[in-house]
Amino acid sequence: MEREVLFRIRRFDGEKEYWQDFRFTARKGMTVLEGLYFIKENLDGSLAFRASCRMGICGSCAVKINGKPRLACETQIFDVGDVLEIEPLDNMPVLKDLIVDMDGFFRKHEAVKPYLIRKDDDYENPKELLQTPKELHAYYDFSLCIKCGACYSACPASATRSDYLGPAAITAAYRFCADSRDEGREDRLALVSGSEGVWRCHFNAECSEVCPKSIEPAKAIQKMRLMSAIHMIKSIFR
Amino acid sequence: MKGVSGWFTLKGKSVNSIAYSFHRLTGIVLLLYLIAHLSFLTSLRIGEETYTAFISITVRPETLPLDSLLFLATFYHAFNGLRVVLNEFGLLYEARKVLIYLMTLLALLFWLYSTYMMYVFLTG
């Protein structure tokens, strides 16, 4: 099955922003990413977008498709319709066409120390850290984040505060705070308990709606919020 | 950054964002009402006659639609706020969409009842 589709792409050349239309014949099963490659190879070689794995693992092809942040490689054209408006992600500066500057997004992720912190780190004599299935399930879902930035794009709190950590970074913080092997909870809680952390979230929950991995960042933020509240109360009595 | 327009952008968004946008909007309406309300009360400092003159502008049948809309904003903000509080305590998170519909329905019921009561009060 084939039919003509219209890709309306919001482009940016470094100075001005404009919409450009591309019409081509799409076939059944064709993804938006394949459509973008078709345009680049046949219609306009100057179109810029990010992509890598083409299988929903790397998260680099996240764009807004008809207003909703999605992975271009996991979205089939016919599932969206005959007219697709494709835009770069929100809340991040656009560099060119569909490519956004994710540096700030990754800096925030880095800030919450998204790695296991152990007091007994000894790389010369590594030891196995055992964990029960229950302990694994406490954080496993949240470890599936691919850092595509879809949640950050959909978040209205991130739209108004550039210093807000955002759903992805707080989810990463919760993922490690909920890990039974981790000993860096206090460090992370100090980071996410500030005004730029969990208390900035106003529970729009759109992050959970758009997450291509269904990891529920809004849930992680609320769990982190509870953890943060307990931490703050405890710190008063210390 | 998208800025404040990010609060009200609904294209491609779910019912969560619609509820969020309305919550912000009704919050702004209530803030404006609070300013007007406090201004009316402050007019008491000038004298009872001034206050009565102000009140006579607003308490009359012609302003009933505005009062009714104010009650709609109040009930929506209150019930949706209750939902947000519940969800932010980690309660009923999985049922967040059902809660949106339920709270909106409750707000509409309270609004209709309050409008009816105001109408009866004004028309006798």
State the CATH number of the domain containing residue A19.
3.10.20.30
Domain boundary among A99, A122, A146: A99
Contact B20 A204 (CB under 8 A): yes
* Substitution target from B4, B16, B26 for chain A, most A beta carbons within 10 A: B16
Is the CB of A42 inside 8 Å of chain B's CB atoms? Answer: no
Q: Is residue B38 part of a domain?
A: yes
Please check whether residues A24 and A94 belong to one and the same domain.
Answer: yes
B2 in any annotated domain: no
> A117 and A216 share a domain?
yes
The answer to whether residues A122 and A198 belong to one domain is yes
List the domain range (segments joined by +) for residue B45.
Answer: 14-123
Last-in-domain residue among A64, A99, A134: A99
Q: Which domain holds residue A20?
A: 2-99
pLDDT in tens for each of the 238 residues of chain A? 899 999 999 999 999 999 999 999 999 999 999 999 999 999 999 999 999 999 999 999 999 999 999 999 999 999 999 999 999 999 999 999 999 999 999 999 999 999 999 988 888 888 889 999 999 999 999 999 999 999 999 999 999 988 999 999 999 999 999 999 999 999 999 899 888 899 999 898 999 999 999 999 999 999 999 999 998 888 888 7
B16 touches chain A (CB under 8 A): yes
End-to-end Cα, chain A, rounded Å? 68
Residue of B12, B20, B93 lying closest to A156 (CB–CB): B20
Residue B8 lies in a domain: no
Please indicate whether, in this complex, the C-beta atoms of A222 and B4 are within 8 angstroms of each other.
no
Count of the separate structural domains present in chain A: 2
Q: Looking at A84, A99, A114, which one is the last position of a domain?
A: A99
Domain count within chain B: 1
ipTM greater than 0.85: no
The reply to whether A160 and A60 lie within a common domain is: no
Residue B83 lies in a domain: yes
B4: nearest CA partner in chain A: A160
Same domain, A148 and A76: no
In a domain, residue B31? The reply is yes
Answer whether A149's CB lies under 8 Å from A105's CB.
yes
From A64, A160, A225, residue closest to B4, measured CB to CB: A160
**Contact call for residues A166 and A108 (beta carbons, < 8 A):** yes
DSSP assignments along chain B, one per residue:
--TTHHHH--TT--HHHHHHHHHHHHHHHHHHHHHHHHHHHHGGGT-HHHHHHHHHHHSSGGGHHHHHHHHHHHHHHHHHHHHHHHHHTTSS-TTHHHHHHHHHHHHHHHHHHHHHHHHHHHH-
- Domain for residue B4, yes or no? no
